[in-house]
Amino acid sequence: MWLHIDAAYGGGFAMLPDYHWITKGWELADSIVINPHKTVFVPLDFSVLYVRGLERLRRVFTLVPEVLRGDTIEGEKNYMDYGIQLGRRFRALKAWVIWRSLGRAGVVARLREQIRLANLLADWIKKDDRFELSAQPSMGVICLRFVGRDPAPAGGRPSFSARPAVAPYQTDRSNESKLDQLNSDIVERINASGRAYLTQTKLCGRTVMRIGLGNVLTTEEHLRKGWDLIRETAGAL
């Protein structure tokens, strides 16, 4: 039995003291992977694999023909014995450059800014009753769903302060399939425009739009323009 923890996206946030809860249970893992190109600002592609029993990993991948046997009998680790590739690029250099430039404090400050922006966007979404916040953001990813211009219920719509932080999924809507398609259309139209890039996913079986923050240059102005673009595109459908 091999216990692997996929912390590809969220693992970087463990640098923040208030996100130390992420690491609960890591001491039980045989391996953990973190992708610094997703949250720690290293250009694509760069992954970090932590392995408890390195010799077990070597036994899985090592395949030493006679022509290479002399290269493997050495004091230093030969990384061809720990993965599929015989050779590899100097990926560590770009990580060193970025982290040397920003420093730990700079990386942490930018991670905190991602979280602030994610929660700011969540607040904007909750103020527009054409959209639902699909999940309260805990890191730098926001999921939202366009639900259209549903007629106000008897007694009027609840005030913003009375609405739940995350809108519950209403499975009794008769037009859920149509809304799924509308959300996909919004994503496709925005991506085709070249002005922003969104992805889509499924939550509780329904299509939602997904925005991931991770670029070191992203500002609140960029976020506002992106949100305005989503609203304009939804209004045009």
pLDDT per residue rounded down to tens, the chain (237 residues): 889 999 999 999 999 999 999 999 999 999 999 999 988 999 888 889 999 988 888 878 877 665 666 655 555 677 777 877 777 788 889 999 999 999 999 999 999 999 999 999 999 999 999 999 999 999 999 999 999 865 444 444 443 444 455 555 454 556 889 999 999 999 999 999 999 999 999 999 999 999 999 888 999 999 999 999 999 999 998
* Euclidean distance between CA atoms 136 and 148, whole angstroms: 20
Given this model, what pLDDT does residue 152 score?
44
Given this model, what pLDDT does residue 166 score?
59
- The C-alpha angle with vertex 32 and arms to 15 and 61, in degrees rounded to 5, equals 145
Given this model, what pLDDT does residue 142 score?
96
* DSSP character at residue 93: H
Encoded tokens for 133: 């916040």
Please state whether the peptide bond connecting residue 128 to the residue before it is cis, i.e. omega within 30 degrees of 0: no
* Euclidean distance between CA atoms 70 and 78, whole angstroms: 11
**Are the CB atoms for 56 and 63 separated by under 8 Å?**
no
| 204 φ/ψ sector (left φ>0, alpha ψ -120 to 50, else beta) | left
Encoded tokens for 10: 């969220």
Given this model, what pLDDT does residue 9 score?
93
Given this model, what pLDDT does residue 162 score?
42
145: closest CA among 168, 161, 174? 168
* Euclidean distance between CA atoms 101 and 90, whole angstroms: 18
Given this model, what pLDDT does residue 214 score?
87
C-alpha separations of 71 from 57, 77, 88, 138 in Å: 19, 10, 16, 47
The packing angle between helices 220-236 and 176-193, to 10°, is 130
Given this model, what pLDDT does residue 50 score?
92
Given this model, what pLDDT does residue 44 score?
82
pTM, full prediction: 0.81
* Euclidean distance between CA atoms 31 and 234, whole angstroms: 43
